[in-house]
Chains A and B, each alone.
Chain A
């Protein structure tokens, strides 16, 4: 079996309009790579939004994609990091069926995954949970026997790990943003 391809967090600061989003997603799409997740939200700058894509590809393919994004009018900043070098979370809202017989078990599951009940009725609960995408998957599987009625997930968002938490000491080893001016011979 071949070695699985690595995952990358591609973060793009975009001019805040749908056309820029359309353009950026088009550039990601037409490289024909595996895109595991896409999310969009406001950034710290007014008029600028942040697009986060998790892309599964070899490094040269993801670099080519990032270089095309960097050329795009309306893309202000593009960073690519290995997913392993990022903290990565996803938010979910989950509507789950509730019955008195199963309530205790359900509450245990909710507590175990540190989810929160944000709306309740006699027949169902709405939970919110924030976790890394695989943990969120585990939560959904754990809730399945109770009856999951509806789920909405935000898509993954990510930040680079802080230098202090990196056992290698700092972020050395991450690919530098490629300006590709001169690659030493």
Chain B
């Protein structure tokens, strides 16, 4: 059936066609035609955020938890520029976010019109792709192409900028998906499946079979390609211990005897020492980020590295590799698991066990991060998704909470975006409406996006917010303590009374000052039908140990406060 529809109406039909069920957005002048058409759709639920940055993070959280593209909507100018941090976050962590922005009418573009910004120009380096729809005749192709690009191969954010008059243009709409790629794309780029892959797999199997000290290092790519079972099969067949990077956490069950932990700047000593002693490292779906490798010159000096990644530009980008295998993590890992010789690596595991060290943490009082996280795990039965912010608590949440459900840990890894947790957790809720979602932030990051409590209240989003309050921007303070002579410049941070804040928003709020109160507060928050907030008062100058100093080697961790940096 052919209908005469506006660009805005066609956009709604296209979003439905792409399987979108929720949008996070904020209206404004240049996107008003779309918001006028939106109520006609029964399928599209709109969530009104309090700041566009939160819309982008929420779309990102939705995408990471569901594996489907998350959609955010903003108006031109300030609306669009407020999306920028969220898009950069999604770009660094390969998350399929589709941002739709209104633009001033075509005739006004380039005249510094009210709320005009060259958002395409601004977002080019921080998106996988960004396009402007120049006419209603290209709307369907560009929107379909946008969703395709966001999800195809290594996922990433796409921005689609639509001038207001294009939203108001009328065109015949017959529905039905067309070819999603543009002409030039169709003609170019044969699928990359070089015959060399077979040789590569054979070489990889040989290297793995011959290794005496092999390791698996798994990253976000394992979660993105749903390769949990394949990684587990490879590990169990060979007895190779598994390291999970920050974004790879929850790609492998932490209760599994082969799970070692997180590597890198705040990785446990035995994990980093295992890397330094390994003779073969199979890296699957990670990019050997500098927070993982430390000084690359000293990284894994004895290891030949096999790097499995979907993105050929990652092979050899950060560290030299012996072998690059380009392809889907799931498929390649499955083929490796089939072909390797079964073994158990007992001697190597015993050697790694020797690397284990008991670390003495010192906290004034009993509010240790592991006690708090154990409380949350206990009360939720390990069934919740943990969304963390950025800083000290992020490292504690990464290392101390036992993740046994696939993809149950979500954080901003690459960009390290403070303020991510609260809005991203809203998106996670829409992807997993029946599961509890905890957003855990520090007192710094929480204050960056705490306005979103209002969104949760208005939209009935039952996210539970945990705040680790130490009165400092703790990670920066830790660096100041260790490397800047304890000059705490601009890191003490005042907080409002969060319990009263919760009350002002009409939600439950609890302050926990002693370990004995943890379970009750977490339990009461969990039982709340709507959002709830729990503030955990933690040691002010607690530190994250161990720590590889910036630019240092994984072989030289700091395991205690350096001499001269002690708290008097």
Contact = CB atoms under 8 A, between A and B. Distances in A.
Interface of A: 15, 19, 22-23, 26, 30, 47-48, 60, 63-64, 67-68, 70-71, 73-74, 76-77, 178-185
A115 B318 CA distance: 48
A70 to B, nearest CB: 7
Interface string B112-136: 0000000011001100110110000
B322 A185 contact: yes
The 10 closest A-B pairs by CB, nearest first: A182-B200, A67-B313, A181-B194, A76-B188, A182-B196, A181-B196, A185-B203, A180-B312, A15-B184, A73-B129
B489 interface: no
Interface string B285-312: 0000000000000000000100000011
Contacts of A184: 199-200, 203, 323
How extensive is the interface on chain B, given as a class? 35 or more
Contacts of B324: 180-183
Contacts of B183: 47
B426 to A, nearest CB: 30
B189 interface: yes
A30 to B, nearest CB: 6
A64 B184 contact: no
A18 to B, nearest CB: 10
Contacts, number: 86
B194 A185 contact: no
B404 to A, nearest CB: 34
Interface of B: 120-121, 124-125, 128-129, 131-132, 149, 182-185, 187-189, 192-194, 196-197, 199-201, 203, 206-207, 304, 311-313, 315-317, 321-326
Contacts of B193: 181
Contacts of A181: 192-194, 196-197, 200, 312, 324-326
Contacts of B317: 64, 67
Given A19-B131, A71-B313, A182-B323, 11 more contacts: A19-B132, A26-B125, A47-B183, A180-B315, A180-B316, A181-B194, A181-B324, A181-B326, A182-B196, A182-B201, A183-B321
B107 to A, nearest CB: 19
B312 A182 contact: no
A74 B184 contact: yes
A180 to B, nearest CB: 4
Given A22-B124, A26-B125, A76 B184 contact: yes
19 contacts: A63-B316, A64-B313, A68-B313, A74-B185, A76-B189, A179-B194, A179-B312, A181-B192, A181-B200, A181-B324, A181-B325, A181-B326, A182-B194, A182-B197, A182-B323, A183-B200, A183-B315, A184-B200, A184-B203
Nearest to A178: B312
B110 to A, nearest CB: 13
A182 B192 contact: no
A60 B128 CA distance: 23
Contact of B124 (A23, A178, A182): A23
Contacts of B129: 73
A20 to B, nearest CB: 9
Contacts of B187: 76
Contacts of B326: 179-182
A15 B183 CA distance: 10
Contact of B207 (A76, A179, A185): A185
B142 to A, nearest CB: 12
Nearest to B148: A73
A12 to B, nearest CB: 12
A88 to B, nearest CB: 26
A91 to B, nearest CB: 27
Given A76-B188, A183-B321, A185-B304, A26 B124 contact: yes
B313 A185 contact: no
Contacts of A68: 313
